[in-house]
């Protein structure tokens, strides 16, 4: 009996081991199969593009045929959101699937800030790597580099490569901040070690000209904030010395990133890839290539929007020519809403004319009102997504869970919602609730309703001319009936206001 019992135990153990191996084998095979058949994924992300800045969202004074082609051939979301009304928090949320207001450091960063994303944190490129994707970022980063001090003359770590990108060709922060150099996989491009780079955001280097001390050197006049080092005749935020051979040419930046994106596609077309193509337009300084100067009639801001549209058209041609357009899912959006005067005199206000960058919404960049976070949001997959317009509430933060579902990788995440069927146009159901953020203040979108709590501070950002949403009273709007948020219903519907307040507190916990 004892021998039989031990034999029985051995057989049970053997069955469990074999079962475990079989299960693991199936899981691995499934993952490899998914990686072999899933589409390439490209996120085209613009910088400060407003809800009304493109013709497919109602612009009449600007025509953006290539962006329109994505909208007309895919799903155009009328309630698509960035997570924040400023750039760094939105990019953080998109790549991590986490609300930016949960990270106190997720705010607009200087060019020498440390890496914002924890290298142990789940990210979209890490998730797609698990499914066999090659991953890359080309364009604007603005999520910090290094661990507190950056030596720009050596390999910079941690950075995009350490949070999941196999390849990274970036500008560290924004076009208006130093250092004004490109960085490839942690190394400054074209750096002459005999002319080392020094960067400081607190004080200038001895003998170096600034916008204040040498205004005669300026080709672009600053309005506010941008009065430190001068590069290519443009005043910047922060001070920089050295690195002359590595400095970018501003007017070539759009072409430069386009070429890099096209080359990447050509080199990786045989296997699944994820490309985060982070364009710099229409963020300041607006420096269109001479080909586009004057083409919009609205000054440099309009010109660079047309330039960005052209770049997207050329990029789409490359996908078609390389035979991968029909196997590529494209997500198009912007990191936050529009702003006209964001630090330079460039005729953005004076030459606006009848154009409404907000598209009938209220607010803009830096604002809790709708124009701060509601942005163009399009998904396109030729012959897989049927053209449609969706009113579903979707957020860039939801890409992590949704694309994880697409490639067969389930990852626990607190804030990202799996809306894959909605993004593919197969479902009209979106988010029930979304907390948006603007400069550390938050508000709640729930169904058709938007509630903005009381906040201290100025109701108007006078430097840029945008309403912030910061007032001492509660604001409540029915966005289905009042997209422009002109009628505050807080006092008229106290029960609904209380319901929203309690829901907001519950969600923030």
DSSP one-letter code for 298: S
472, exposed or middle or buried, with CB in 10 Å at 0-12, 13-18, 19+?
A: exposed
Which tokens sit at 339? Answer: 């702003």
**What gap in Å lies between CA 401 and CA 284, rounded to an integer?**
32
DSSP one-letter code for 326: G
Confidence of residue 37 (pLDDT cuts 50, 70, 90): low
| Residues above pLDDT 70, as percent of the chain | 93
* Pair 189, 313: CB distance under 8 Å: no
pLDDT value at position 21?
38
Stretch (H or E) spanning 174: none
- Across the beta sheet with 475-478, the strand order is 433-438, 441-446, 449-452, 475-478
The strand pair at 40-46 and 273-278 is best described as parallel
Model confidence at 15: pLDDT above 50 = no
Q: Count other Cβ atoms within 10 Å, centred on residue 149.
A: 7
Chain segment 423-477, per-residue pLDDT in tens: 999 999 999 999 999 999 999 999 999 999 999 999 999 999 999 999 999 999 9
DSSP 32-56: HHHHHHSPEEEEEEESS--TTSSGG
Nearby residues of 480 by Cβ (< 8 Å), 6 or more positions away: 448
Stretch (H or E) spanning 399: helix 399-407
DSSP 235-253: E-BSEEE--GGGBPPGGGH
| Residues above pLDDT 90, as percent of the chain | 91
Q: What is the mean pLDDT of the chain?
A: 93
The strand pair at 187-188 and 198-200 is best described as unpaired
CA angle, corner 78, sides to 82 and 419, nearest 5?
65
pLDDT value at position 182?
98
Nearby residues of 394 by Cβ (< 8 Å), 6 or more positions away: 77, 79, 80, 81, 377, 419, 422, 423, 430, 431
In whole angstroms, what separates CA 281 from the centre of its chain? 12
Domains delineated in the chain: 37-190+248-425 (3.40.720.10), 198-241 (no CATH), 438-508 (3.30.1120.10)
pLDDT value at position 414?
83
496, exposed or middle or buried, with CB in 10 Å at 0-12, 13-18, 19+?
A: middle
Which tokens sit at 509? Answer: 């916990």
Model confidence at 267: pLDDT above 80 = yes
Distances in Å between the Cα of 361 and the Cα atoms of 35, 214, 370, 453 are 41, 40, 6, 19
**What gap in Å lies between CA 396 and CA 58, rounded to an integer?**
22
Chain segment 317-362, per-residue pLDDT in tens: 999 999 999 999 999 999 999 999 999 999 999 999 999 999 999 9
* Pair 307, 279: CB distance under 8 Å: no
pLDDT value at position 8?
43
Chain segment 394-416, per-residue pLDDT in tens: 999 999 999 999 999 987 778 99
Model confidence at 206: pLDDT above 70 = yes
* Pair 23, 256: CB distance under 8 Å: no
pLDDT value at position 436?
98
pLDDT value at position 25?
31
In the three-class reduction of DSSP (H, G, I as helix; E, B as strand; rest coil), residue 4 is classed as helix
In the three-class reduction of DSSP (H, G, I as helix; E, B as strand; rest coil), residue 438 is classed as strand
**What gap in Å lies between CA 461 and CA 235, rounded to an integer?**
22
| Average pLDDT value for residue range 190-206 | 97
* Pair 221, 345: CB distance under 8 Å: yes
* Pair 333, 304: CB distance under 8 Å: no
pLDDT value at position 38?
87
């Amino acid at each position: 009996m004892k021998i039989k019992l031990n034999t029985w135990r051995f057989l049970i153990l053997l069955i469990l081991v074999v079962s475990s191996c079989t299960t693991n084998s199936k899981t691995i095979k499934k993952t490899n199969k998914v990686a072999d058949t899933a589409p390439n994924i490209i996120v085209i992300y613009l910088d400060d593009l407003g809800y009304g800045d493109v013709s497919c969202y109602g612009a009449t004074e600007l025509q953006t045929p290539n962006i329109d082609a994505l909208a007309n051939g895919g799903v155009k979301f009328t309630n698509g959101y960035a997570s924040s009304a400023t750039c760094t928090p939105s990019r953080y949320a998109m790549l991590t699937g986490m609300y930016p207001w949960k990270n106190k450091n997720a705010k607009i960063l200087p060019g020498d800030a440390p890496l914002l994303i924890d290298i142990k944190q789940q990210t979209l490129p890490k998730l797609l790597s698990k499914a066999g994707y090659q991953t890359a970022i080309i364009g604007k980063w603005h999520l910090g580099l290094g661990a507190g001090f950056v030596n720009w003359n050596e390999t910079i770590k941690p950075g995009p490569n350490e949070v999941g990108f196999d390849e990274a060709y970036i500008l560290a922060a924004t076009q208006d901040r130093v250092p004004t150099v490109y960085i490839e996989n942690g190394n400054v491009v074209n750096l002459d070690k005999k002319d080392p780079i020094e960067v400081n955001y607190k004080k200038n280097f001895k003998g170096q000209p600034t916008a204040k001390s040498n205004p005669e050197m300026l080709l672009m006049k600053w309005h506010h904030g941008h009065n430190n080092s001068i590069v290519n005749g443009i005043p910047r935020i922060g001070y920089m010395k050295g690195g002359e051979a590595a400095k970018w040419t501003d007017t070539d930046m759009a072409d430069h990133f386009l070429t890099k994106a096209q080359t990447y596609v050509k080199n990786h077309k045989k296997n699944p890839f994820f490309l985060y193509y982070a364009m710099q337009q229409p963020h300041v300084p607006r420096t269109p290539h001479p080909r586009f100067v004057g083409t919009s009639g609205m000054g440099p801001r309009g010109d660079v929007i047309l330039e960005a549209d052209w770049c997207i058209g050329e990029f789409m041609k490359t996908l078609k020519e390389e035979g991968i357009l029909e196997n590529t899912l494209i997500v198009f959006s912007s990191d936050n809403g529009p702003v006209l005067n964001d630090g330079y005199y460039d005729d953005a206000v004076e030459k606006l004319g009848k154009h409404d960058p907000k598209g009938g919404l209220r607010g803009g960049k830096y604002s809790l009102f709708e124009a701060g976070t509601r942005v163009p949001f399009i998904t396109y997959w030729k012959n897989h997504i049927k053209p449609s317009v969706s009113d579903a509430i979707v957020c860039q933060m939801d890409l992590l869970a949704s694309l994880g579902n697409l490639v067969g990788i389930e990852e626990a995440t607190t804030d990202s919602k799996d809306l894959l069927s909605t993004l593919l146009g197969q479902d009209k159901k979106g988010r029930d609730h979304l907390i948006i953020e603007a400069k550390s203040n938050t508000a709640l979108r729930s169904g058709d309703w938007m509630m903005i709590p009381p906040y201290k501070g100025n109701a108007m950002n006078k430097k840029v001319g945008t309403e912030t949403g910061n007032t001492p009273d509660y604001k409540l709007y029915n966005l289905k009936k009042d997209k422009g948020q002109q009628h505050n219903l807080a006092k008229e519907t106290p029960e609904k206001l209380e319901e929203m307040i309690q829901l907001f507190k519950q969600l923030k916990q």
